[in-house]
Amino acid sequence: HQCSITSSTIFDSSKLSLTTWFLAIYLITQAKEGMSALSLRRFLGISVNAAFKMKHKLQHVMKNADDQLVLEGFIELDDVYWGGKKSGGKRGRGAPGKTPFLAAVSR
C-alpha cells in the first residue's frame, strides 16, 4: 500500500498529469459560456471520454463545495435573466426563453 499526495482526491488513479488537470480547472472556470467536453479535448489533446470524465469530476467537486457553503451576516443578492434570442421582442425581466439566475454573497 502506497501513500500519495493525490490519494483520496479527484486526481487519484488518473493517468493524466496534474498539469493537464490544472489546465482543465483553469479552462472550465474561466470560460464565460461554459466548456464542452469536445472543446476541453481540443485544448488538452486528450480523448473525448477522458475529457467528459474529467469535466464531470470537476463539476461534482464544485457542486459539493457549494452545497456546504453557508452564508452569514450581511448578504447581498442580485438577479439576472440569462440567454434567449435577440429578436427585437420583449425586453427585460421575464422575457420568454430566458433563464433566471440568482447570485448571493456574504459580506
Mean pLDDT of the chain: 83
9-34: average pLDDT: 88
Alpha-carbon dihedral 32, 92, 102, 73, rounded to 10 degrees = 120
15-32: average pLDDT: 90
DSSP 7-59: TTSTTTT-SS-HHHHHHHHHHHHH-TT---HHHHHHHHT--HHHHHHHHHHHH
What residue segments make up the domains of the chain, in order of their start? 18-67, 75-106
More confident residue, 12 or 28: 28
Read off the pLDDT of residues 33-56 as tens digits, 9 standing for 90 and up: 888 999 999 999 999 999 999 999
To the question of pTM greater than 0.85 for the whole model, the response is no
